[in-house]
Structure 1
């Protein structure tokens, strides 16, 4: 429905605003209010305009959060209500909503413009609520169409649909592949390069193993503190009778190493001597 028709239906003073919500929360709004975001202190909304896609642009963003059915809540705010407004990912200004709407209407490309209110919207300010048949708008960012979002550890979001699969695909392309255990054992048996040995010992991770960890003893003679600590951690992951003997008989003047050995023995249910 266009902005002019809505204004005809609800002729009170003030622009019609809209917030897209999960349909299951719509029934409580006439008796309650539009609450602040679950992880935010703002109510995000848009101004109804003649561009339907711009007005309801947040719909597809909710889809990324797992929302399946949508509702549009139309409401009004006083002209002097202070809001935060601006383009997505750019600086937002704190100004009266009347000025923010004026700025919004002058934009050649309003996609990505957004408004934030630092309070709840009361039931008296709600004009109407209607179901929205399907999500509209942008995903990831206003200019993301035909681009692949980044799923690196800094950009990727946990809990979004298909995000786990996308992160694995990103890691397969961008992260170095783990060293195989046979290759790691070969390096441990022959190399004196502490950096190469550190990479090799890291290949074992914290996975529990049943084999004899005695092949790791030569690394404890390298006089490298980090390598010594990591090697003892890996020895502690081996569920083998030799493990207890190696840990109990290992001597070190370093308090951190002594504490690590006590911790490893305790995890196995062995009391240190």
Structure 2
């Protein structure tokens, strides 16, 4: 039997003892299951994912759930970067333990079990120190963090101070709304697509915005502008946003319709 560790919120412990672990995560190819990691001789490597999971997971401390799997159980394993490329390999649980244990540096590797775990497969649940593991990426300590919009965590500890000290050339301070609206008006009617998309990029960095002033762009002849409009307002809480997206959901161009579906799924 192969032993793995699954990290989860401490609040889930009573349910896991009673009914096991749900298949709530999405793996390679959209498969449903859960992530875990082999129990290695190194405590730090075994629990390497703890601090990174704590950045995005639920509030409160995490616990380690030790799970026993049959050696022949099929799992997916590989580096987390391989997941997006579909390069993680399907192997047995025993082979996953062997491969990861033989690596000189197994940081960033993961195991995905494509099914839930039954209560009888749970070996034990125990508390773990909340400071184990790496954050952002392995070997991130000592390197300047990226502060671009794609990498920065809004509201994260020290995030504003980092943005002020190390402004990203592409994702610097947000231009004021009146400035952005002036750019859109200056782009003309229906408007230069490049200028409109540049202004909408900055609107997409905001949580609210002037939906009524941007609604006319839903009829722009360039589908790239309409798609950029979807990404700009998709995360807004401003009244009227849902109605604007409803209209764009029936757009004649498939890229626009897919963008609406994507922002609503998130």
What residue number does 1:161 align with?
Answer: 156
Q: Would the alpha carbon gap of residues 26 and 135 (structure 1) be closer, same or farther in structure 2, given more than 3 Å must change?
A: farther
Measured after TM superposition, the shift of residue 163 of structure 1 is 7.8
What residue number does 2:77 align with?
Answer: 85
Q: How does 1:108-127 map to 2 (within 5 A)?
A: 108-127=104-123
Q: Secondary structure at the match of 2:2?
A: coil
What residue number does 2:37 align with?
Answer: 46
Say which one has the larger Rg.
1
Please give the per-residue CA displacement for 1:165-184, whole angstroms capped at 9, x wherever unaligned: 36854894424667799xxx
Supply the distance in 1 between the matched residues of 2:176 and 2:35 (Cα, whole angstroms). 49
Q: How does 1:56-71 map to 2 (within 5 A)?
A: 56-65=47-56, 66-71=58-63
Q: Secondary structure at the match of 1:85?
A: strand
Q: Secondary structure at the match of 1:16?
A: strand
Q: Would the alpha carbon gap of residues 20 and 202 (structure 1) be closer, same or farther in structure 2, given more than 3 Å must change?
A: closer
What TM-score does the superposition give when structure 1 sets the normalisation length?
Answer: 0.57
Q: Would the alpha carbon gap of residues 39 and 135 (structure 1) be closer, same or farther in structure 2, given more than 3 Å must change?
A: farther
Supply the distance in 2 between the matched residues of 1:37 and 1:167 (Cα, whole angstroms). 33
Q: Secondary structure at the match of 1:83?
A: strand
Q: Please point out which of 6, 14, 19 is paired with 1:32.
A: 19
Measured after TM superposition, the shift of residue 119 of structure 1 is 0.6
- Runs of 5+ in structure 1 lacking a partner? 1-13, 182-199, 207-215, 238-254, 258-266, 268-273
What residue number does 2:237 align with?
Answer: none
What TM-score does the superposition give when structure 2 sets the normalisation length?
Answer: 0.59
Query: How many residue pairs end up in the alignment?
Result: 191
Supply the distance in 2 between the matched residues of 1:177 and 1:70 (Cα, whole angstroms). 35
Q: Secondary structure at the match of 1:89?
A: helix
Q: Secondary structure at the match of 2:37?
A: strand
Q: Please point out which of 226, 230, 242 is paired with 2:191.
A: 226
Q: How does 1:1-273 map to 2 (within 5 A)?
A: 14-37=1-24, 41-65=32-56, 66-90=58-82, 91-157=87-153, 161-162=156-157, 165=160, 168-169=163-164, 172-174=167-169, 175=171, 202=180, 204=182, 225-226=190-191
Supply the distance in 1 between the matched residues of 2:172 and 2:150 (Cα, whole angstroms). 17
Measured after TM superposition, the shift of residue 17 of structure 1 is 1.2
